Structure 1
Amino acid sequence: MKYVLGGLQWAVFLIASSIAAPIAIANVFGMDPAETALFIQRTMFVLGVACVVQAIFGHRMPINEGPAGLWWGIFVVYAGMVGVLYPTNEDALQSLQSGMIVSGVLFVLLALSGLIGKMKKLFTPAVTFTYLMLLILQLSGTFLRGMVGVGGPEDRIDGLLFIGSFLVVIVTMFTMNHKVPWISRYSVLLSIGFGWILFLLIGKADMVRPNLDQILKLPDVFVYGKPVWDSGVVVTASFITLLLIANMMASIRVMESLLKQSFAITPPDRMKQGSIASGVNHLLAGLFSAIGPVPISGSAGFVGATRMASLKPFVIGSIMLIVITIFPAVMSVFASLPAAVAYAVTFAIFTKMVEMAFYELRAESNEQRAFKVTAIGLMVGVGIMFIPQVSMSNLPHALTAVLSNGLITGTILAIIIEQFLLFRERKTIR
């Protein structure tokens, strides 16, 4: 029974943490409600399958897959090209769909070449700390805006929404740190349930209206047409794949560290298998016209908060998600979860990520070098977060995808700086 409840908790967390991306992308492409619902279904279906693939054949750790933020950005960039480089939305989406397949093939080839094993050595405690802090700083603004109901520059803070969100954060923190094991284990599920009921009572959530028009709906394949060759997308996908590998490696590194420190579990090195699984998952994303998935670092915060390091509930939750997506009535219920509740619960979970970041930095043997690396990485990464993306619109698409993302740019810079300092140290010793 505990595995079923744990699986349900994972399923709810997977939906709550991933549903914003397909909704936002559907909005920028002007999809109607029916198209949006199908796009959400396909994306969630791929995420569920991706989690199972990684858990069984890939890295074999409880790391949930989520829509890659880099692909999210590329979707937005390509939406702006409609009417310029692409005649219609469907043409742009067809090219992006093909880009997922290119990325999937590259993931597999890079893993088989042995490059993945060499790249793993770059993710030292100092680099992992920089990555985690940039991730937290980048998302904290999104969490808080969602908790106060501010979606754009014209919106005003909703006081009642903020009070409700604040109470959900308090309840999540309380249940996460509760002395009774079953309460802390199911803290996310309990907090989301509490928040959903609270928001219904204060009038900040819509009553659930299940979609009963269709009982069963399997996701469609190649919705925007067969794969096409687009040189621009191929170049972009190739560059994005290298960045996604770095993202994947950081997420795996964070979970490995958590399992060792908090659960005395030393997982085997399956970075190569994880990369091959990510390639398969991107091929699935292209097949089902969805968003490319990537292992999410936030899962470490979830595991740390719920103390559920076992793979069984994770796999059960992933299978639940797959089943949910093919039943429109059930999917519509979960999709009606108030966004502010999801943001509030995730905000509390990410406080665990801050703790983990400082534990990582403490594990660094050379503090002076680590401080230099993290100082430069954080300053550049955070600084980029304040530069409007529109100011980079004249740059090549692949370059825009990197420079508009403070998380990726700051992490790459931290790796370069640290490798340079290590090179100097080795040269001095000689």
Structure 2
Amino acid sequence: MKNLLGGIQWAVFLIASSIAAPIAIAHVFGMDSGETTLFIQRTIFVLGAACLIQAFIGHRLPINEGPAGLWWGIFVVYAGMVGVMYPTSSDALQALQSGMIVSGFLFIVLALTGVINKMKKLFTPAITFTYLMLLILQLSGTFLTGMVGVDSSADRVDGVLFLGSLAVVLVTFLTMNHKIPWISRYSVLISIAVGWILFLAVGKATFITPDMDSFIRLPDVFVYGKPVWDTGIIVTASFITLLLIANMMASIRVMESLLKKSFSVTPPDRMKQGSIASGVNHLLAGLFSAIGPVPISGAAGFVGATRLSSLKPFIIGSVLIMVMTIFPSIMSVFAALPPAVAYAVTFAIFTKMVEMAFLELAGESNQLRAYKTAAIGLMIGVGIMFIPQQSMANLPQAFSAVLSNGLIIGTVIAICVEQFLLWRESKQLHN
């Protein structure tokens, strides 16, 4: 029973943290409600399958897969190219699904050639701290705007929504830190249930009538046509894959650190297997015309809050996700989760990530070097977050999507700075 409840909690967390991306992408491509529902179905199905693949043959850690933010940005960029470089939205989406397949093969090749193991050495405590802080800073604005109901500059703060979100945050904090073990273990599930009921009571959520038009529907494959050779997307996918590997490594590194410090568990090094599994997951994303998945760093905050470090509930949750996607009636209910509730619960979970970031930094032997590395990485990464994406519209699509991502650029800069400082220290020792 404990594993089943934990699995349900994982399933709810995965949906709540992943559903925004397919909805947003469907919107920019002008999909109608039916197309949007199917796009959500395919994406969530792939995410559930990706979690299982990682659990059985990949890194074997309780890290949920989510739509990669880098791919999200590429989708948005390609949506702007419809009518310019691509005649229709389907043509652009066909190129993107081909890009997923290219990325999948590249993941596997880099793992088999040993490049992955060499890259792992770059993720020191200072780099992990910088990555986590940039991730938190990048998402904190999204959490807060979602909690107050502001989607654009024309919107006004919704007081009722904000008070409701604040109540959900407080409930999440109380349950996460409760002395009764089962309450803290299922804090996310309890908080989402309480928040959903509260929002129904104040009129900020609606009762959903399940879609009963079709009882079972399996996700379609190659929705936009067979893979095509597109030089632009191949170059883009190759560059994006290298950055996704860095993202994957950081997420695995964060979870390994949490398991060692909080659960006294030292997981085996399976970075190579994790990369191969990520390659398979991207091949699935291309096959099912979905968004490329990546291990989510927020999983560490979730595990830290719920104490669900075992793989069993994680696997059960992943199976539940895949089963739910083939029942449109169930998916329609979960899709009705008030976004503000999801944002509020995730906001509380990510406070654990801040704690973890500073614990990582404290574990660095050379504190002065770590401070310099983090300072430069954070300054550049956060600075990029304030540059409007529209100002990079004249750049090639691959560069535009990457250079506008403060998380990736800040982390890469921090790696370069630290490697330079290490090289300089080594040179001084030999002189």
Report the Cα distance in structure 2 between the residues aligned to 1:334 and 1:401, rounded to whole angstroms: 30
2:54 is aligned with 1:54: yes
Q: Does 1:10 align with 2:10?
A: yes
Q: Alpha-carbon deviations, 1:251-292, whole Å to 9, x = none?
A: 000000000000000000000000000000000000000000
Task: Give 1:154's aligned amino acid.
Answer: A
Secondary structure of the residue aligned to 1:294 is: strand
Query: Secondary structure of the equivalent of 1:356?
Result: helix
Instruction: Please name the residue that 2:216 is paired with.
Output: 216
Distance 1:59 1:268 in 2: 9
Amino acid at match of 2:244: L
How far apart are 1:170 and its partner, in Å? 0.1
Rounded to whole Å, the distance in 1 between the matches of 2:211 and 2:121 is 49
User: What is residue 251 of structure 1 aligned with on the other side?
Assistant: 251
Tell me how far apart the structure 2 counterparts of residues 338 and 402 of structure 1 sit (CA, whole Å). Answer: 31
Match of 1:384 in 2: 384
Distance 1:309 1:73 in 2: 31
The alignment status of 1:42 with 2:39, answered yes or no, reads no
Using the alignment, how far apart are the partners of 1:121 and 1:232 within structure 2?
31
Measure the CA separation in 2 of the matches of 1:176 and 1:375.
31
TM-score, length-normalised on structure 1? 1.00
2:101 matched to which residue of 1? Answer: 101
Residue pairs, 1:186-205, within 5 angstroms: 186-205=186-205
Aligned to 2:414: 414
* 1:169 corresponds to: 169
The aligned residue for residue 362 of structure 2 is 362
Amino acid in the other structure paired with 2:375: A
Aligned-pair CA distance for 1:69: 0.1
State the percentage of identical aligned residues.
Answer: 77
* 3-state DSSP of counterpart to 2:66: strand
CA distance in 2, matches of 1:86, 1:16: 32
- Give the secondary structure class of the aligned counterpart of 2:101: helix
| Alignment partners' CA distance in 2, 1:10 and 1:391 | 39
Deviations 1:351-386 (A, max 9, x none): 000000000000000011000000000000000000
What residue is the counterpart of 2:231 in the other structure? 231
Q: Which runs of 5+ in 2 are unaligned?
A: none
- Offset at 1:400? 1.2
3-state SS, counterpart of residue 252 of structure 1: helix
Secondary structure at the residue paired with 1:66? strand
Corresponding residue SS for 1:425: helix
How far apart, CA to CA, are the structure 2 residues paired with 1:383 and 1:346?
A: 24
Any gaps of 5 or more consecutive residues in structure 1? Answer: none
CA drift of 1:206 comes to 1.1
Give the SS at the match of 2:218: coil
1:397 positional shift: 1.4
In structure 1, the partner of 2:79 is: 79
Match of 1:113 in 2: 113
Q: In the TM superposition, what whole-angstrom CA distance separates every residue of 1:192-243 from its partner, at most 9, and x where no partner exists?
A: 0000000000000011210000000000000000000000000000000000
- Number of residue pairs matched? 430
**Aligned counterparts of 2:109 and 2:167: Cα–Cα separation in 1:** 48
What is the 5 A alignment of 1:257-336? 257-336=257-336
**Deviation >6 Å, runs of 4+:** none
Q: How far off its partner does 1:74 sit?
A: 0.1
One-letter amino acid matched to 1:274: G
In the TM superposition, what is the alpha-carbon distance from 1:163 to its structure 2 partner?
0.2
